[in-house]
A and B are shown apart, each in its own frame.
Chain A
């Protein structure tokens, strides 16, 4: 019996291992927005003090601190594997004690288009948030019952709030489930949520001038194959970027998957509702509606969403419509699991054989894998790890004591497809690999059309590169606070994005060149913004302290009880 109880945990681990496959091998998984380096250096811009709208607050600083303890390569594997396993284990906790329901819930939650597409696009903070959501639901229920902040809750909230979108989804989930009418507990919960999200909120407020975005319809929910966009959303797919949609989603399998999952979910509505309890079920239904609603909004009325993102600071957080589908995932998995359990029980009664129940259960647990077979083995090899060229480490060593000023990386474009990364697209990893604060282009090309970024320095750098000679380019760049120029020699470009800059050559290899400029202007940050950012990060750290105190309290109480028994 005990062995049977371990089966769901083993299944969650097996699915995670099967999906990641070669990604767990030696090297770094570099795919689209996912950039990990051996040792991410702490720098002031990671706090949110740089001139650009900080998109990786607080994730960059958290990684930079954690990789002091664990090497970056290992940390990345722990994060990816941990997210998938934790997501599976979390959803299993929401479906009761039936092993069959747990197995089905794990498959539906983990082996889903949402997870595969976000993993491929490199949105690991969103995946951590997705993994934390079922746990936050449980902690929310507990908080509603006893009004206390559980030992795990602060840590779960931090894990689920490593980016702005992730933080919003974690906050909404926890508050929807966990808020009570009692004032004290409600205030404590809201404060905890606010503290966990403080770094990105404050950093965003400091950049309100550039916190609007050109969110055109390109980031909207889209259909997959012949599956229209709203139906793709119902089956937790529909990411805007066709390049990260598994091939099987564009076949009839997407239809089969949707119809079967809808049928099972319909069969499981009543028992799922009973199991969750009215209050939690209503909260999950509201979250489901919000997730699906935001995704469909981005598809149905991209103009209004575009206006919202262009005029309301922070509105750009909604532009990637299908990202919000994580909110719908817990209820979907719980209902499908309840439906599968009901169908299995009916089949058992009809056939008079327990084996039939097992058969239906195994079939339902394997069904998501059969509908999305190319998600296996690192999304059919798309997540194969890469090794950085030696010259990266050589330049980093040179910059152990970097000259003053920020680092500019040329060509001044944001994405690369280096051969050493198997020709796969990735956000340029060089700036993160090196130590100084950096200036990178935040312009994005989608469908060959260039979308403007938010960093005010991007057009200024392009203007500087357009100067007629290397000396005047250097002077213009120095005026922008740039003290070093790193050039990736193996990236084809044009003079608009890459032009010689006069300076002292510190390194010249076959792939990289590093030039130091003479007199960069000091980039100023006001003491006011430094103080506000310090308060925000103190609040963030205090969430971890609350968690640490809760854990210490539990251990201390257990020890006291043990001593008394003696």
Chain B
């Protein structure tokens, strides 16, 4: 019974963590990249965005 319980809990925790990891990875990879290359209309490249 105990072994079954441990197996179940580890499956739940491990599955949760794996799911979270995959979710985070997919979300980060599908985000629009925040690049702002310089151009003649915007000659000073942004160092960063605070928003």
- Give the docked Cα–Cα distance between A353 and B4 (Å): 12
Among B18, B21, B34: residue with most chain A CB under 10 A: B21
Known contacts A251-B24, A417-B37, A447-B50, then 6 further A-B pairs from the complex at CB < 8 Å, ordered by chain A residue: A243-B48, A246-B28, A247-B29, A353-B6, A494-B40, A496-B43
Which residues from chain B contact A370 at a C-beta distance below 8 Å? 17-18, 20-21, 24
Which residues from chain B contact A497 at a C-beta distance below 8 Å? 43-44
Residue pair B50, A380 in contact (C-beta under 8 Å):
no
- Give the docked Cα–Cα distance between A71 and B6 (Å): 52
Within 8 A of A (CB), among B12-41: 13-14, 17-18, 20-25, 27-29, 31, 34-40
Residue pair A240, B35 in contact (C-beta under 8 Å):
no
Residue pair B44, A222 in contact (C-beta under 8 Å):
no
Cβ-neighbour of B44 out of A32, A359, A443 (below 8 A): A443
Within 8 A of B (CB), among A402-417: 411, 413-417
Among B5, B14, B22: residue with most chain A CB under 10 A: B14
Q: Which 5 pairs across A and B sit closest by C-beta, in order of nearness?
A: A247-B28, A248-B24, A241-B48, A374-B28, A370-B17
With A446-B50, A447-B51, A493-B40 known to touch, is A372 a contact of B24 (CB < 8 Å)?
A: yes
Which residues from chain A contact B17 at a C-beta distance below 8 Å? 363, 366-367, 370
Q: Tell me, rounded to whole Å, the shortest Cβ–Cβ distance linking B49 to chain A.
A: 5
- Give the docked Cα–Cα distance between A359 and B18 (Å): 15
CB 8 Å contact bits of A216-257 with B (1 = contact, 0 = none): 011110100000000000000000111110111011010010
Cβ-neighbour of A415 out of B20, B34, B47 (below 8 A): B47
Within 8 A of B (CB), among A460-519: 491-494, 496-498
Q: Tell me, rounded to whole Å, the shortest Cβ–Cβ distance linking A255 to chain B.
A: 11
Cβ-neighbour of B28 out of A248, A352, A411 (below 8 A): A248
CB 8 Å contact bits of A184-227 with B (1 = contact, 0 = none): 00000000000000000000000000000000011110100000
Cβ-neighbour of A492 out of B14, B21, B31, B38 (below 8 A): B38
Chain A interface main SS type = mixed
With A243-B34, A370-B17 known to touch, is A413 a contact of B28 (CB < 8 Å)?
A: no
Residue pair B34, A494 in contact (C-beta under 8 Å):
no
Residue pair B46, A447 in contact (C-beta under 8 Å):
yes
Residue pair B24, A242 in contact (C-beta under 8 Å):
no
A70 within 8 A of B: no
A278 within 8 A of B: no
Residue pair B50, A373 in contact (C-beta under 8 Å):
no
Size bin of chain B's contact surface: 35 or more
Cβ-neighbour of A355 out of B6, B31, B43, B51 (below 8 A): B6
Q: Tell me, rounded to whole Å, the shortest Cβ–Cβ distance linking A440 to chain B.
A: 13
Q: Tell me, rounded to whole Å, the shortest Cβ–Cβ distance linking A417 to chain B.
A: 5
Cβ-neighbour of B25 out of A218, A367, A374, A492 (below 8 A): A374
Interface residues of A (CB under 8 A from B): 32, 217-220, 222, 240-244, 246-248, 250-251, 253, 256, 351-353, 355-356, 359, 363, 366-367, 369-374, 380, 411, 413-417, 423-425, 443-448, 450, 491-494, 496-498
Q: Tell me, rounded to whole Å, the shortest Cβ–Cβ distance linking A450 to chain B.
A: 6
- Give the docked Cα–Cα distance between A411 and B46 (Å): 15
Closest to A491 in B: B38
- Give the docked Cα–Cα distance between A366 and B13 (Å): 11
- Give the docked Cα–Cα distance between A355 and B2 (Å): 12
Which residues from chain A contact B50 at a C-beta distance below 8 Å? 217-220, 222, 240-242, 446-447
A-B contact pairs, 30 of them (CB 8 A): A32-B47, A32-B48, A218-B50, A240-B50, A242-B51, A243-B48, A253-B20, A256-B20, A356-B6, A369-B21, A370-B21, A370-B24, A371-B24, A374-B29, A380-B28, A411-B38, A415-B45, A415-B47, A417-B37, A423-B35, A425-B47, A445-B45, A445-B46, A446-B48, A446-B50, A447-B49, A447-B50, A492-B39, A493-B43, A497-B44
Q: Tell me, rounded to whole Å, the shortest Cβ–Cβ distance linking A34 to chain B.
A: 13
Which residues from chain A contact B40 at a C-beta distance below 8 Å? 492-494
Q: Tell me, rounded to whole Å, the shortest Cβ–Cβ distance linking B35 to chain A.
A: 6
With A356-B6, A446-B50 known to touch, is A413 a contact of B43 (CB < 8 Å)?
A: yes
Residue pair A425, B2 in contact (C-beta under 8 Å):
no
Closest to B24 in A: A248
- Give the docked Cα–Cα distance between A217 and B50 (Å): 9
With A359-B10, A363-B14, A373-B24 known to touch, is A425 a contact of B45 (CB < 8 Å)?
A: yes
Residue pair B43, A244 in contact (C-beta under 8 Å):
no
Q: Tell me, rounded to whole Å, the shortest Cβ–Cβ distance linking A372 to chain B.
A: 7
Which residues from chain B contact A371 at a C-beta distance below 8 Å? 20, 24
Which residues from chain B contact A363 at a C-beta distance below 8 Å? 10, 13-14, 17
Closest to A419 in B: B37
With A242-B51, A413-B38, A417-B45 known to touch, is A351 a contact of B24 (CB < 8 Å)?
A: no
Which residues from chain A contact B31 at a C-beta distance below 8 Å? 247
- Give the docked Cα–Cα distance between A532 and B21 (Å): 54
With A242-B50, A248-B28 known to touch, is A373 a contact of B44 (CB < 8 Å)?
A: no
- Give the docked Cα–Cα distance between A366 and B20 (Å): 12
- Give the docked Cα–Cα distance between A253 and B25 (Å): 11
